[in-house]
Chain A
Amino acid sequence: MKIKETILEFIKANLIISQNEEMLSDNDNIFELGFVNSLFAMKLLNYLESEFKIVVEPEDMDISNFSTLTNIEAFVKNKL
């Protein structure tokens, strides 16, 4: 499975509750859409580190890195 699809599956499993929200597109900002709560923020961090065997460093803490599917994919690819 490609990186973006893998991340989308994770987001669907952990973030989305209604059918309307499943229409998430690649460039939707999940923070602005109000999809993120504190539990998800930590789960996403753990998920990215464990799934892709990367370490999220202090300098990676830029909101844009985690705001959209496209950006998360780019961030992961850059770390690999």
Chain B
Amino acid sequence: MSHLSKQQQELYSEFLKFAKTNVEPYANQWDREECISRKIIDICSEAGYLGGTVPAEYGGQGWDNLTYGIFNEAIGRSSISLSGLFNVHTMIEQTILKWGTEEQKQRWLPFMAKGEILGAFALTEPEAGSDAAGITTEYRLDGDKLILNGKKKWITFGAIADIILVFGKLEGKPVACIVEKNTPGLTVTPVKDMLGFRAGHLAVLQFDNCVVSKENMIGKEGFALNYIALYALEFGRISVAFSALGLLRGCLEICSEHVQKRKTFDKRLIEHGAIRKMIADMGVDYEAAKLLCYNATIAKNNHSPDATEKVMIAKYFTTMAAARHSSNAVQIMGAFGCNESFAVSRYYRDSKTMEIIEGSNEIHQMLLGKSFARQFGKVTKIKDESN
């Protein structure tokens, strides 16, 4: 906890207490029903958590990135599906804050901060995921309006969002506009039967000749993918990384209690070498992941040029660790781990999904692999030249 300020430590305790009281008891039920309840969203709104990273001048809490991270860790420990709400909602808030006009900020941020308007991020399409440049959703200029046609899929909280940041192309240039849920021509279809994030209100969004005001365009034409989407996704990756950290912590807590109580062959489970190794690896990876997550958000707080890489590293490592150790957690818990009434089986399913969202881990490998080769390849070249 030494990386956290006194205020952050107090907030972390508050977040954990909040999650234990308001989230954990209901998480399995939400998962079975494939639906986060409106009640918990209202409770989060009242606590000010929907406006966590929004500056006070727009009605938010003004959290820094590390505080936002530890909030996600606390929520992720109890419900990955709920952490998805803060993920996408914050992505939209931060996008408007960075790239929106003052009028756009005044129009949406105070209401989003209070949870009166929920946001969703619509980039993925049925035929375009990691290859975002392949999106076919189209905006067409018609006087001072834009006409939107296309289809988005797997949109987290898309089924209940009030506004959606929809990426498409206008005369071939990527653009992003805020589309309101009551826009004629927008059809929202909930997606069910997901492996993970089952309570995350995923949806298919079909846009048929939707009329969108040009005033709803965020940023300039041509920058929606390279700057607006990536800027937003960086906040998404912080949320996913820290939520996965919370999931990892959950595995560690549940398994640690179990292996000290449960006996087999007249010995507690922790006395068996194979079990002890799994717990050791789980704990070591939790500590390593925590440092990477903290390091990434401190870099982002400082506007460090390498913040983007550090956030990617944290997301990549932590989600892989969460997937590996939630699998081990199921193994340790045995039949309990295979039953939907216990959190570990939910962790197992959610963790796999976290390796895919906000940039699949293979996309992270492509970008980080090249980046590390460049970074360390230069050292080799300097040595060669000195010889």
Contact = CB atoms under 8 A, between A and B. Distances in A.
Interface string A22-42: 000000000000001111011
B15 interface: no
Contact of B305 (A50, A58, A61): A50
A43 B100 CA distance: 20
A61 B377 CA distance: 32
A62 B220 contact: yes
Given A39-B367, A58-B100, A17 B377 contact: yes
Contact of A43 (B220, B223, B308): B308
Contacts of B19: none
A75 interface: no
Interface in A39-58: 39, 41-47, 49-51, 58
Contact of B309 (A36, A43, A63): A43
B302 interface: yes
B227 A61 contact: yes
B226 A38 contact: yes
A70 B98 CA distance: 25
Contacts of B307: 46
B374 A39 contact: no
B305 A46 contact: yes
Contacts of B99: 58, 61
Given A61-B222, A61-B227, 18 more contacts: A14-B374, A16-B374, A37-B370, A39-B309, A39-B367, A39-B371, A41-B226, A41-B230, A42-B227, A42-B231, A44-B305, A45-B227, A46-B303, A50-B302, A58-B100, A58-B101, A61-B223, A63-B223
